[in-house]
Amino acid sequence: MGVVMKVRIPTCHDKPGTTQIVQLTQQVVWIGYIKKYFYCASPFRCFCPVFLHSQMLWELVLLGEPLVVMAPSPSESSETVLALVNCISPLKYFSDFRPYFTIHDSEFKEYTTRTQAPPSVILGVTNPFFAKTLQHWPHIIRIGDLKPTGEIPKQVKVKKLKNLKTLDSKPGVYTSYKPYLNRDEEIIKQLQKGVQQKRPSEAQSVILRRYFLELTQSFIIPLERYVASLMPLQKSISPWKSPPQLRQFLPEEFMKTLEKTGPQLTSRIKGDWIGLYRHFLKSPNFDGWFKTRRKEMTQKLEALHLEALCEEDLLLWIQKHTEVETVDLVLKLKNKLLQADREHLPVKPDTMEKLRTHIDAIILALPEDLQGILLKTGMT
């Protein structure tokens, strides 16, 4: 239609769920950050065959447990895997997931071997052959044909894995896993009522998404609060010393905070929250989440350190120090600018400009021969 759309695919430096307006040569181009790699349009339709167990499935995904989805078709397999990955949003799922896994995939031998425990991955399969080769996996979801809006498959109890013989087995969840949290009967009644009243699948999905979102937020808020406490106080940041380090994450110290500021403040669900946290702290999802948060906080400390340097009277400082120390300072400041650009530090543009001005002023205060050398040095 004669319209050119410019879209930027997210990089590892972008934060999920954010958008940005960027000015490019007199025209504003919208840069779309994709919230997820994939998106399941109707999670209720996917969870419908096993929605009684949706909270248990949320736990399994949260903990990065090995999961197999056995479905009649690639589309149903893919949709269900994506619904599972998205159910712990806004927490990112850090393990691998294969919406449609086949016997031709390179990891086929690794995933079907019985000589080692299954890896932390969610597989979606359709081939009846997998009912036998993946029987040793601890958690298997068998779904039938996804029903149209208004129909709901018969709900069944969790079954033992030994009852899963072929892909012709009845739909259900096959696992020996015992959930840490008590089942939330209110959401079950709400969804069942929606089915009886022929509520559209989209509306049911909105309810289910909100439920998963609130559940994940109730779980993650205490962790966010504790991790924020690991940040050093701003007054401890000195421009003439290296930025202070974050305090270490101590699991037992975190557990003690749950008594007063745990998920019970925001969630009505009862159960063994402590046990769930202990298990989560050993999972790939915690490892990925904490590494991301630690990187963000370390970058924040670097940015605050830069700001502290900018507030100093550097010309006064060089009057009290030797030329060698002054040259060393210039090189360090240039490295700071490079680091800020390379690591995308959360530094204000005016702070960067102020630092460049400081560097130029210091160089001009030095003898001409040194000025030439430092200007040639550029940004190295």
Residues 161 and 230 in one domain: no
d(CA 262, CA 255) in angstroms, rounded, equals: 9
Which of 192, 212, 232 is the last residue before a domain boundary?
Answer: 212
Bridge partners (DSSP) of residue 44 are: none
Residues 84 and 208 in one domain: yes
User: Is 356 part of a structural domain of the chain?
Assistant: yes
- CA-closest candidate to residue 102, choices 134, 80, 79, 60: 134
Q: Residue 152 class from Cβ within 10 Å (0-12 exposed, 13-18 middle, 19+ buried)?
A: middle
User: Is 320 part of a structural domain of the chain?
Assistant: yes
Residues 129 and 227 in one domain: no
- CA-closest candidate to residue 171, choices 90, 51, 81, 83: 51
Range 240-243, long-range pairs (CB < 8 A, 24+ positions): 242/305, 243/298, 243/301, 243/302, 243/304, 243/305
- Please check whether residue 153 is in contact with residue 48, taking contact to mean a CB–CB distance below 8 angstroms: yes
Helix%, strand%, coil% for the chain, nearest 5: 50, 10, 40
User: Is 297 part of a structural domain of the chain?
Assistant: no
Residues 239 and 335 in one domain: no
Residues 53 and 104 in one domain: yes
User: Is 196 part of a structural domain of the chain?
Assistant: yes
Residues 339 and 266 in one domain: no
Q: 129 by DSSP, 3-state: which?
A: coil
- CA-closest candidate to residue 254, choices 210, 209, 224, 211: 224
Extended beta strands in the chain, E state: 20-24, 27-31, 67-70, 96-98, 121-125, 139-142, 172-175
Q: Which pLDDT score is estimated for 99?
A: 94
For residue 143, is it left (φ>0), alpha (ψ between -120 and 50) or beta? beta
Residues 117 and 182 in one domain: yes
What's the total number of domains in the chain? 3
Residues 73 and 120 in one domain: yes
Residues 204 and 231 in one domain: no
What lies within 8 Å, CB to CB, of 297 at 6+ separation is 227, 230, 231, 246
Pairing of strands 96-98, 121-125: parallel
Residues 112 and 69 in one domain: yes
- CA-closest candidate to residue 286, choices 341, 224, 199, 361: 224
Give the CA distances from residue 194 to residues 79, 111, 189, 203, in Å, rounded to whole numbers and listed in that order.
Answer: 22, 39, 8, 9
Domain span holding position 115 = 43-212
d(CA 49, CA 174) in angstroms, rounded, equals: 13
User: Is 348 part of a structural domain of the chain?
Assistant: yes
User: Is 26 part of a structural domain of the chain?
Assistant: no
d(CA 81, CA 61) in angstroms, rounded, equals: 10
d(CA 131, CA 168) in angstroms, rounded, equals: 9
User: Is 32 part of a structural domain of the chain?
Assistant: no
d(CA 316, CA 307) in angstroms, rounded, equals: 17
Give residue-wise pLDDT tens across range 141-182.
Answer: 998 765 554 455 555 667 666 655 544 567 889 999 999 999
User: Is 65 part of a structural domain of the chain?
Assistant: yes
Which of 168, 194, 212 is the last residue before a domain boundary?
Answer: 212
Dihedral of CA 179/185/190/192: which sign? positive
Residues 200 and 76 in one domain: yes
Q: What is the CATH number of the domain that holds 105?
A: 3.40.50
Which of 164, 193, 212 is the last residue before a domain boundary?
Answer: 212
d(CA 25, CA 6) in angstroms, rounded, equals: 13
Q: Which pLDDT score is estimated for 36?
A: 41
d(CA 335, CA 193) in angstroms, rounded, equals: 62
Residues 282 and 343 in one domain: no
Instruction: Using 70 as the pLDDT threshold, list the residues of the chain that sit under it.
Output: 8-41, 145-157, 159-169, 376-380
